[in-house]
Homo-oligomer: A and B are copies of this chain.
Amino acid sequence: MTGGRPGCDPAPTIAAMAPARKPTTGQPPTPRLASDPITEAQRQWSAHGWEGASDGMAAVTSIMRAHQIYLARVEAVLRPFDVSFARYEVLMLLYFSKRGALPMRTIGSRLQVHQTSVTNAVDRLEAARLVRRLPHPTDRRATLVELAPAGRGLAEQATAALNTEVFTNTGLSARGVNDIVRTIGQLRRGAGDF
């Protein structure tokens, strides 16, 4: 969820594995900082003799949490449009395609999701009259998914909303944005994305 469909709440994080913080009542002997759970988890990792893995654990955990935060924000923005992020992605893929139509398989490959996830998303998009299934003209195994006019309009409106409410205000500095894109680019290259 990665699944799932986050509402406003985020997803799980190893990060939060820090021991319970004392309530900030009074003035406890320990520094009453609202400690960063990921930093705390790193401390736990080191305390258990896993120093070599603690930084990587923190990075992976940070990614998990960031995903949770952004997915929740995106889904919240898309909710009024009655589409999920998964379905929005399908719409945008079709929106950018020259003919406004793509085979199911192509959609799955581009979005890097399982075929059956595409079937699922297209089922719902079709039920909402945002796309149509058409027979592929030359390959009778394949099914084309065509963007309906309503789907095109929704794609534009939803994108405008996402741009305003999420993408132009990511909660990161300009440098942070660049660092993220560049560093994850490294990861994605290693994973064979491009």
Residues of A within 8 A of B (CB): 1-6, 9-14, 16-20, 34-38, 44, 50, 52-60, 62-71, 74, 85-86, 89, 92-93, 95-98, 102, 106, 109-114, 117, 159, 162-164, 166-174, 176-181, 183-188, 190-191, 193-194
When the two chains form their complex, are residues A110 and B37 in contact, meaning their CB atoms are under 8 A apart? yes
> What residues of B have a CB within 8 angstroms of the CB of A168 in the complex?
52-53, 56
Residue from B110, B170, B184 within 8 A of A16 (CB atoms): B110
Q: Which residues from chain B contact A5 at a C-beta distance below 8 Å?
A: 3
Q: What is the CA–CA distance of A99 and B173 in the complex, to the nearest angstrom?
A: 41
- Decide: A184 and B62 in contact? CB cutoff 8 A: yes
Complex Cα distance A17/B162, Å?
15
Give the complex CA separation of A69 and B71 in angstroms.
16
How many copies make up the complex? 2
User: Which residues from B are CB-within-8-Å of A86?
Assistant: 12
- A114 is contacted by which of B9, B16, B67 (Cβ under 8 Å)? B9
CB–CB B106/A20 < 8 A:
yes
A55 nearest in chain B by CB position: B177
Q: Is the CB of A181 within 8 A of B58?
A: yes
Contact (Cβ within 8 A) B35 A181: no
Inter-subunit contact A113/B63 (CB<8 Å): no
